[in-house]
Amino acid sequence: MKLSAKPLKTLSDAERGNLALGLFEEKDTHAAALKAHPALKRLLETGDFKGKANDCVVLYPESGSTRLMAVGLGKRAAFGARQAMEASATAVRRAGKLGVEHLTFALPSEAGASAAVVEGAAEGARLGTYAFDRFKEKKEGEAPKKVSACTVAVSASARAEILEKACHTGAVIGEAQAFVRDLAALPSNFKTPTQLGEEARKMARKTGLSCHLILRDEAKKLGMGAFLGVAQGSAEPPVFVVLEHKPAKASGKAKKPVVVVGKGITFDTGGISLKPALNMHHMKDDMTGGAIVLGLLKACAELELPTHVVGLVPFTENMPGGKAQKPGDIVYAMNGKTIEVINTDAEGRLVLADALCYAERYKPAAVVDLATLTGAAGVALGRFAIGAMATDQRLVERLQAAGEATGERVWQLPLWDEYLELMRGEAADLLNTSGGEAGTITAGSFLKEFAKHSPWCHLDIAASAWGKEEKPWSPKGPTGNGLRMMVQFLRSWR
């Protein structure tokens, strides 16, 4: 999708053609729009359009625009980057269904001309075109119902180069989230650990990241017994991906890396502790944390962020083969701790344990892991928040601030010592599950034992990673939720 941005002195200067015009709820903000586009008068007089967030009505004026869409921005006082993203996505999605190829999305002067608003609008425009249709038959002669070009027009005096930079930033972030969704939506036979390792290598080569793939023999030498224990039941070999964005201009605090770890279970059957058949096909998305890490490093490189960032993803399947680990088996993690495997379906924390140990070799400024880890996260928070557990309060507060800014919200859960006691084993140092109460928190308490030496935060994205209803900016299925929050977090890291 081609995205551009430009300042407008008046709304009358908006390009003729297909125009989406953002309008607030407050009637005193409509004067400029009515003057520029009289066709809106009757619509606003009837009260059929009230400007509520993401309302959308299509008009066909006798002169001027081919189509004129009125898009609700909500209340003026609440408007910001997130609202711009949603309104832009709403307009672009509607335009695509109408067969529009080129769209101008114009914001009133009251919306301001901040870089953040333009970024949000550009993100939304890209997300509004998103569809996972790789495996659908393309009918001969059928035109794709997607907007191919969108201009974000801001009705205020602003420097064009600032708007264009903001538009580029939004486009990169939107594209990175689409990349994450694509990886999570792929069926597991198209994203084996080996294939995803090659995808990471290809992406690194294209963007200038460094990439190293740790294969089984090297993982054995490193002592990654927890990771390899999960992998041993699958015919597909495991691949541990290491990506690094190390900008030459990083200075001060930004020189010490932030390490981001993602769970990379490319398909989760539950292993010997087999999952029920119903909805097991969704387990192709159990590598969403890993997909976010790949998309995040891609965005870091393309945005030329000045922060040193390392991405770690242990990719493997969790299968019930003849060589699969069994309940009661004991494995050694990379730091020497022993783990008794009570339930082979609690495998994500095992692969993350070794990844968190590996992260310590970078002596990082902070470590953040993202994982579709527990169904209990959805019980606790629903699908509206990411559960966070941390050893450093400042770190989790920064993640929460990034979540509020992007709408990918984070809610902190406690890590009291009592929860860790539920994970203590008799035959081994730790159990891989308590099998009962506080499932999300006990999983975080387990991971804490492998993240002892650096500020660390665990993000359980299980509930928000899969959308149950379609929105213009977020489809049914994999959402990529957490990517934009992590980009915002790293952009503010100083």
For residue 472, is it within any domain? yes
Give the DSSP letter of residue 279.
T
Confidence of residue 254 (pLDDT cuts 50, 70, 90): low
What mean pLDDT do residues 439-453 have? 97
Residue 61 near residue 10 (C-beta atoms within 8 A): no
* CA separation for the pair 167, 260 (Å, rounded): 26
51 closest CA partner among 72, 28, 22: 72
Q: Where is the domain boundary, 129, 156, 183? A: 156
Q: Where is the domain boundary, 156, 183, 213? A: 156
Q: Which residue has the tokens 């034992």?
A: 449
Could you tell me if 95 and 216 lie in one domain? no
Could you tell me if 114 and 197 lie in one domain? no
Q: Which domain holds residue 224?
A: 175-491
For residue 59, is it within any domain? yes
What mean pLDDT do residues 338-360 have? 98
For residue 332, is it within any domain? yes
Could you tell me if 282 and 412 lie in one domain? yes
Residue 143, pLDDT score:
62
* CA separation for the pair 103, 95 (Å, rounded): 8
Could you tell me if 139 and 214 lie in one domain? no
Residue 249 has pLDDT above 90, yes or no: no
For residue 161, is it within any domain? no
Could you tell me if 369 and 410 lie in one domain? yes
Strand, helix or coil for residue 21: strand
Residue 341, pLDDT score:
98
% of the chain at pLDDT higher than 90: 87
For residue 332, give the amino acid letter. Y
* CA separation for the pair 382, 70 (Å, rounded): 32
Angle formed by the axes of helices 81-97 and 115-128, nearest 10°: 30
Residue 324 has pLDDT above 80, yes or no: yes
Could you tell me if 187 and 304 lie in one domain? yes
Task: Assign residue 347 the CATH number of its domain.
Answer: 3.40.630.10
Q: Which residues are catalytic?
A: 275, 349
Which segment of 35-44, 52-61, 75-84, 169-178 scores lowest on mean pLDDT?
Answer: 35-44
For residue 163, is it within any domain? no
Could you tell me if 183 and 44 lie in one domain? no
- Per-residue pLDDT tens over the stretch 403-433: 999 999 999 999 999 999 999 999 999 999 9
Could you tell me if 231 and 261 lie in one domain? yes
Could you tell me if 145 and 291 lie in one domain? no
Q: What is the mean pLDDT of the chain?
A: 94
% of the chain at pLDDT higher than 70: 98
Q: How many distinct structural domains can be found in the chain?
A: 2
pTM of the full predicted structure? Answer: 0.96
- Per-residue pLDDT tens over the stretch 150-200: 999 987 777 888 899 999 999 999 999 999 999 999 999 999 999 999 999
What mean pLDDT do residues 294-310 have? 98
Task: Assign residue 10 the CATH number of its domain.
Answer: 3.40.220.10
Could you tell me if 80 and 216 lie in one domain? no
Could you tell me if 290 and 420 lie in one domain? yes
For residue 186, is it within any domain? yes
Per 3-state DSSP, the chain is made up of helix, strand and coil in percentages (nearest 5) of 40, 20, 40
Could you tell me if 292 and 335 lie in one domain? yes
For residue 83, is it within any domain? yes
What mean pLDDT do residues 35-56 have? 93
Residue 142, pLDDT score:
65
Strand, helix or coil for residue 183: helix
Confidence of residue 308 (pLDDT cuts 50, 70, 90): very high
Confidence of residue 114 (pLDDT cuts 50, 70, 90): confident
Task: Please state whether beta strands 309-318 and 149-154 pair in parallel, antiparallel, or not at all (unpaired).
Answer: unpaired
Residue 63, pLDDT score:
74
